[in-house]
Structure 1
Amino acid sequence: MNVLNIVEIIGTIAFAAAGALAGIEKRLDIFGVFMLALTTAVGGGIVRDILVGITPPTAFVFPTSAIISLITAIIACFTYRWLTRFTHIILICDAIGLGAFTAAGANMSFIYEYNRLFLTVMMAVLTGVGGGVIRDIFVGDVPFIFHKEVYAVASMIGAICFFYTKPLLPENGAMYLCFFITVLIRMVCMKYDINLPVVGIKQIRKE
Structure 2
Amino acid sequence: MNQTVNWVYLIEIIGTIAFASSGALLAMEEHMDIFGVSILGVTTAVGGGIIRDVVLGNTPPNVFRNSSYVIVAIAVSVILFIGMYIKKQMDIKAFDRYKNLYDKAMLGMDAVGLGIFTVVGINTAVNKGYQDHTFLLIFVGMITGIGGGMMRDIMASRTPFVFVKHIYASASLAGAIIYIILMKQISTVASMTIAATIVVGIRVAAAHYKWNLPKV
User: What is aligned with 1:141?
Assistant: 158
Q: Residues 24, 184 of structure 1: CA spacing in aligned structure 2 closer, same or farther, 3 A cutoff?
A: closer
Q: Residues 47, 8 of structure 1: CA spacing in aligned structure 2 closer, same or farther, 3 A cutoff?
A: same
The more displaced of 19-28 and 112-121 is: 19-28
8 A contact 2:165–2:212 mirrored in 1? yes
- Could you tell me which of 21, 27, 31 is aligned with 2:31? 27
Q: How many residues align?
A: 199
Q: How does 1:161-176 map to 2 (within 5 A)?
A: 161-176=178-193
Distance 2:106 2:154 in 1: 21
Q: Residues 57, 78 of structure 1: CA spacing in aligned structure 2 closer, same or farther, 3 A cutoff?
A: same
Amino acid at match of 1:159: A
Q: Secondary structure at the match of 1:38?
A: helix
Unmatched segments (≥5 aa) in structure 2: 85-93
Distance 1:117 1:61 in 2: 27
TM-score by length of 1: 0.86
- Could you tell me which of 100, 106, 112 is aligned with 1:96? 112
User: What is aligned with 2:148?
Assistant: 131
Distance 1:92 1:35 in 2: 20
8 A contact 2:56–2:125 mirrored in 1? no
Deviation at residue 177 of structure 1 after TM alignment: 2.3
Amino acid at match of 1:136: D
8 A contact 2:21–2:109 mirrored in 1? no
Matched, 1:120 2:124: no
Report Cα offsets for 1:50-82 as digits up to 9, x if no partner. 121101111111121211110111112122247
Unmatched segments (≥5 aa) in structure 1: 200-207
Q: Residues 47, 158 of structure 1: CA spacing in aligned structure 2 closer, same or farther, 3 A cutoff?
A: same
Deviation at residue 7 of structure 1 after TM alignment: 4.2
> 4+ residue runs of structure 1 moved beyond 6 angstroms?
none
Deviation at residue 45 of structure 1 after TM alignment: 0.3
Percent of pairs with identical residues: 40
Q: Residues 3, 96 of structure 1: CA spacing in aligned structure 2 closer, same or farther, 3 A cutoff?
A: farther
User: What is aligned with 2:122?
Assistant: 106
The more displaced of 166-175 and 67-76 is: 166-175
Distance 1:143 1:53 in 2: 26
Amino acid at match of 1:66: V
Distance 1:3 1:179 in 2: 14
Greater per-residue helix proportion: 2
CA RMSD of superposed structures (Å):
2.1
8 A contact 1:148–1:197 mirrored in 2? no
